Structure 1
Amino acid sequence: MDTQSPHRYSLAIVSRGDAAVRRDATAQNSRFVRVFEALVSAGIAAQPAIYDESFTDAVRDQLLAVDGVLVWVDPIHQGKTREQLDALLHDVAARGPWVSAHPDVILKMGVKEVLYRTRDLGWGADTHRYDSAAAFAAEFPQRLRAGGPRVLKQNRGNGGQGVWKVEALPNAIPAVRVLHALRGSHPEDMPLDAFIARCEPYFGWGGCIIDQPFQPRLPDGMIRCYMSGARVAGFGHQLIKALIPPPPQGPESPEAQPGPRIMHGPDAPQFQALRRRMEDEWTPQMMKLLAIDEALMPVIWDADFLFGPRDGTGADTYVLCEINASSCFAIPDEAPAAIARTVRERLVNARP
């Protein structure tokens, strides 16, 4: 740490909020308070930058006055997308400040299409991409009949929005049972062509639909591998309920709610095999395949894994179901320090 100048660098943390939230925002009342504290300890003066489309110019002025920008904004929030924000971040990055995650990097790794592009890595599955509504209508029905239950995902989304489990029903007229991953959803039976029509809007902003096989070990939970750059910063294990039919008590009952995400540091013994694969194999292979330099990797991102079939020795395998690079939070206790270290390295290297 630079002891002669404890605040040698300046940084803004961008998150959504209205004008009142922007007016009252401080590092101390932010949900990112631990990140702010870690940044200060690393010699970085950090400030909140609350964003909304209604005061874009004020946010632009704020971001142009700092050395670096960290962004925690979901792809979709209360009907708003990141379209205007991404344009703002492009402009800011082109004029000097370093931005993470840069919108161009998010479009490479933080969208569902990455599941298709990296399907041949060790984390891949029988994954397909539909680039148009016509291709989806022509190809999906046969794949569904041949391969068992499938999971469809719109290219950009969060919180289960646009993620569906689809299972063929044994009807003379093609019909399906579908379950939306959005919390509170019920299974629905409907004609297949009606469901295909329902998915057509996903080819708008997102541009494609990704299709993967349903993983039978979903009830065993999801492992979230938190990364800072190309290094593991921690893990989270959660018994999720998305794409699992709700119990008789209903989707709002306590029995239908996901379990707590149990956080672990990067050295947690039960995840060391996954850590080695992520650091030594899968992340370097992904960076090469997607042409992402390590210096551009997000300072915090996560890869969500489901358990695949056990291998010949009985060991777990892992199937990637999502990468989050737009707004990775909450994070393990060890992650803020990892973020601060990565941020400082990037700012040091970015300064002429």
Structure 2
Amino acid sequence: MVEASSAPFTVAVVCRGDAQARREAQPQTSRLKAVFEALERQGIAAIPAVYVEDELEDLRDQLLAVDGVLVWVDPISAGQRRTALNRLLEEVAAAGVFVSARPEVIAKMGVKAVLHATRDLGWGTDTRLYDTASVFEAEFPSVLTQAGPRVLKQDRGNGGIGVWKVEVLDSGAVRAQEARAEAEPRTLRLADFMTERGADFADGGRLIDQPFQPRLPEGMIRCYMSGAHVVGFGCQIIRGLMSADAGPPGPRIMSGPDDPQFRALRANMEHDWTPGLVRRLEIAPEALPVIWDADFLLGPKTADDADTYVLCEINVSSVFPIPEPAPDALARTTLHRLAARRRAQA
């Protein structure tokens, strides 16, 4: 273990937990053990820092005493949001501590609205954004009836929460299937479904609308990134938005960045789509998270039978598990960012 007194940099690794978890946190028992070890291989002293919803003062003191903060906290967990943590992270960043990912970056990348903002990049599709209930009520019925099955997504969320497949039945009713685990499809009037969705616009909420991708049964490809570089892939058969008789989801098959199956996807991500993302969202390249991922579904085949890819989500807040090469890659990115910041402050 690298001692903080001898290391050039000290980094706090933040996860959600309770008071007991905070007292007993140890790198060797953390789910992020591989990340701690990779940071230490780069000469970085890494310490666990457990975020407890109602106990922020000790965490504040801990984060203000380090050079960098890496965060693994979902936006929603057991009904709790990370609003207080976001405020603390911005305070810490303003004090000169390196934070990844900063809440202001998450607010741009880690929301479903990014699908609309980047819809004209090569990963885009016919994506609509409804920023008020009145716009949703005026536009969604005609889109649904004319364009076929659609997928509605709340702007913020994780684990399939607030992601719905909606399709019109011969009876004129709609079938609505939420993507979260164990959710059952429901048949109801479109007007009733839309009334339910009115709650999604509370507190500035929005809904994003994409066409349902028929190749969903072939699986989802998760492209893992550190900064602007691909660090691995995860391919998984998923069951969200599918009927109950589709069976359980499959395991996520991890592979490294050189997986030949995804050579074209890697080239697109590194040379085109990620540069386009940072330009469109006005994010400095050095502000890209040290670990993030983009989830893709397979789109229509091209004329020469090549796959296309449709972005369905970007994950920034709590990317885990990650492929075997990813911890060392994110540790190198972290060291580079810390060193650059120190040079700039000298």
* TM-score bracket for this pair, using the shorter chain length: over 0.9
Structure 1 gap ranges (5+)? 248-254
Q: Partners of 1:259 and 1:187 in 2: how far apart?
A: 21
SS in 2 for 1:74: coil
Match of 1:201 in 2: 199
Match of 2:189 in 1: 191
TM-score, structure 2 as length reference = 0.96
In structure 2, what residue type is equivalent to 1:48? P
Match of residue 281, structure 2, among 272, 275, 290 = 290
Match of 2:263 in 1: 272
Query: Cα offset for 1:317?
Result: 0.3
Q: Partners of 2:91 and 2:191 in 1: how far apart?
A: 42
Match of 1:256 in 2: 247
Conserved in 2, the CA contact under 8 Å of 1:7 and 1:40? no
Match of 1:156 in 2: 156
Large movers: runs of 4+ above 4 Å: none
In structure 2, what residue type is equivalent to 1:110? G
Deviations 1:62-84 (A, max 9, x none): 10000000011111000001211
In structure 2, what residue type is equivalent to 1:242? G
Q: Partners of 1:314 and 1:100 in 2: how far apart?
A: 39
Query: Cα offset for 1:58?
Result: 1.1
Q: Partners of 1:113 and 1:67 in 2: how far apart?
A: 32
In structure 2, what residue type is equivalent to 1:286? L
Match of 1:80 in 2: 80
Structure 2 gap ranges (5+)? none
Matches within 5 A, 1:1-352: 7-171=7-171, 174-205=172-203, 207-247=205-245, 256-351=247-342, 352=345
Q: Partners of 2:44 and 2:204 in 1: how far apart?
A: 36
Q: Partners of 2:275 and 2:332 in 1: how far apart?
A: 20
SS in 2 for 1:136: helix
Query: Cα offset for 1:205?
Result: 4.4
Conserved in 1, the CA contact under 8 Å of 2:110 and 2:317? yes
Q: Partners of 1:64 and 1:205 in 2: how far apart?
A: 31
Q: Partners of 1:178 and 1:207 in 2: how far apart?
A: 20
SS in 1 for 2:158: coil
Q: Partners of 1:315 and 1:6 in 2: how far apart?
A: 52
SS in 1 for 2:306: coil
Query: Cα offset for 1:6?
Result: 5.7
Deviations 1:211-245 (A, max 9, x none): 00000000000000000000000000000011011
In structure 2, what residue type is equivalent to 1:275? R
In structure 1, what residue type is equivalent to 2:47? Q
Q: Partners of 1:180 and 1:238 in 2: how far apart?
A: 19
SS in 2 for 1:178: strand
Query: Cα offset for 1:150?
Result: 0.1
Query: Cα offset for 1:113?
Result: 0.3
In structure 2, what residue type is equivalent to 1:139? E
Query: Cα offset for 1:204?
Result: 2.3
Decide whether aligned partners of structure 1 residues 206 and 23 sit closer, same or farther in structure 2, where only a CA change above 3 A counts: farther
Conserved in 1, the CA contact under 8 Å of 2:22 and 2:52? no
In structure 2, what residue type is equivalent to 1:180? E
Q: Count the aligned residue pairs.
A: 340
Comparing 129-138 with 316-325, which one deviates more in the overlay? 129-138
Query: Cα RMSD over matched residues?
Result: 1.2
In structure 2, what residue type is equivalent to 1:331? I
Deviations 1:143-172 (A, max 9, x none): 10000000000000000000000001233x
Query: Cα offset for 1:206?
Result: 5.9
Match of 1:252 in 2: none
Q: Partners of 1:290 and 1:301 in 2: how far apart?
A: 16
Decide whether aligned partners of structure 1 residues 301 and 206 sit closer, same or farther in structure 2, where only a CA change above 3 A counts: farther
